[in-house]
Amino acid sequence: MVRGKVKLRLIADESARRAAFRKRTKGLLKKLDEVTKLCDVEACAIIYGQNEAQPTLWPSPEGFQAVIHRFMGMSEVDRSKKMLNLESYLQERLIKTHEQINRLSSENEEKRLTLIMYEYLAAQRFVEKPMDLVDLDGLIRLLHQNMGNIARRMAMLNATGTQGEASSSHPPNQSG
Amino acid sequence: MVRGKVKLRLIADESARRAAFRKRTKGLLKKLDEVTKLCDVEACAIIYGQNEAQPTLWPSPEGFQAVIHRFMGMSEVDRSKKMLNLESYLQERLIKTHEQINRLSSENEEKRLTLIMYEYLAAQRFVEKPMDLVDLDGLIRLLHQNMGNIARRMAMLNATGTQGEASSSHPPNQSG
DNA sequence: GCACCTATATATAATTG
DNA sequence: TCAATTATATATAGGTG
């Protein structure tokens, strides 16, 4: 019997498949480690094993996050334009949101969403200064209490600054 | 001279390093392809090459996004608890936000933020039904126009349903 | 720089304990 | 199931055009 050589399709035998998965994942991560060290590049990977509760993150949960955040941030160069269409990315997020709405319940989820809200408001300058980064509960209360003011300011800006066109991209065109 | 064997540290010669990078990246992606096919697992990877304008995404920009969204969604099981601390994740986002505030200018960024806002409102049920997924500009107008109503409903919910505690995590404690 | 080549190093399928 | 072994397949460093 020939050793080695397998066809490039799903390994039928389950335990053999798991064995192959363990070995190959190990090999893969080693290669990843090598290429990043040898060539000084940043990289990360995630592998969702069949029976694994947790996906494998490389180089580490934190390292993985860091690289993903770099990617998701899309703020260094305008990678985004060539890599993925922004509109379709937004639409995908929107769809995801709808899928998730029916599942929302936990307090943590509420916190997450409130923070997202804060991101929006801060970016739009509807809230003035960085709030305490630690007290999320306080942040939530603060946002809710201030919704009236925020809405007012939004309405004002909307009334004065509206371009009103739903067509193609032209910047707001206001000087310093 | 001995062929093969290199030490696991940065390759000093630039062109040799780039050659190694190309070869090894190719090999790496092949291995990734193999393990996913042989063992039927979901995986993705991103590699930021030194001189590359775009990072290499595997299996494709779209496939990469899909896996990352699965990960970022954190809604299948409660991976999040073990994998990363939610609070620290939120804080990191918050810091990122502040870093980005000073750079915001493009219309696209405004759209992205508005959509984030919408995610929040939809999840909180402050907007009733899925808006048209295509007309982002319309969505933006709609949100701005409705901020008054939204704020009113928020204030009401806040007044009636407030738990008011800023302490540790305890669920709202409401039965069926 | 790239494509190919070939010697060598490495990864791993199949087997054994 | 896991670890170790070993035969084989594959990846790749260094070389050539």
Per the structure, the residue whose CA is closest to nucleotide D2 at C1' is: A19
Q: Judge: B41–A53 Cβ closer than 8 Å, yes or no.
A: no
Question: CB atoms < 10 A from the CB of A15, how many?
Answer: 8
Q: What is the mean pLDDT of each run of 10 residues along chain B (176 residues)?
A: 79 91 94 93 92 86 77 44 40 46 43 56 50 49 57 48 32 28
Nearest CA in chain A to B108: A86
Output B137 or A164, whichever has higher pLDDT: B137
pLDDT at residue A175 above 50? no
Q: How far is the alpha carbon of B3 from chain A, nearest alpha carbon, in Å?
A: 17
**What is the pTM assigned to this prediction?**
0.52
Q: Judge: A54–B166 Cβ closer than 8 Å, yes or no.
A: no
Per-residue pLDDT of A144-155, as tens digits, reads 555 555 555 554
Model pLDDT, residue B30 = 93
Nearest CA in chain B to A51: B41
- Mutation to test the B interface, candidates A30, A47, A145, A173, most B Cβ within 10 Å: A47
Q: How far is the alpha carbon of A48 from chain B, nearest alpha carbon, in Å?
A: 5
CATH class of the B16-82 domain in this structure: alpha beta
Q: How many CB pairs under 8 A join A and B?
A: 293
Q: Where are the domains of chain B?
A: 16-82, 86-162
Using CB atoms within 10 A of its CB, is residue A172 exposed (0-12), middle (13-18) or buried (19+)?
exposed
Q: Judge: A113–B123 Cβ closer than 8 Å, yes or no.
A: yes
Separation CA A149–CA B91 (nearest Å): 25
Which residues of chain B have a CB within 8 Å of the CB of A169?
107-108
Model pLDDT, residue B54 = 82
Model pLDDT, residue A67 = 82
Separation CA B72–CA A157 (nearest Å): 33
pLDDT at residue A43 above 80? yes
Q: What secondary structure does DSSP assign to A97-118, as a single string? A: HHHHHTT---HHHHHHHHHHHH
Nearest CA in chain B to A50: B41
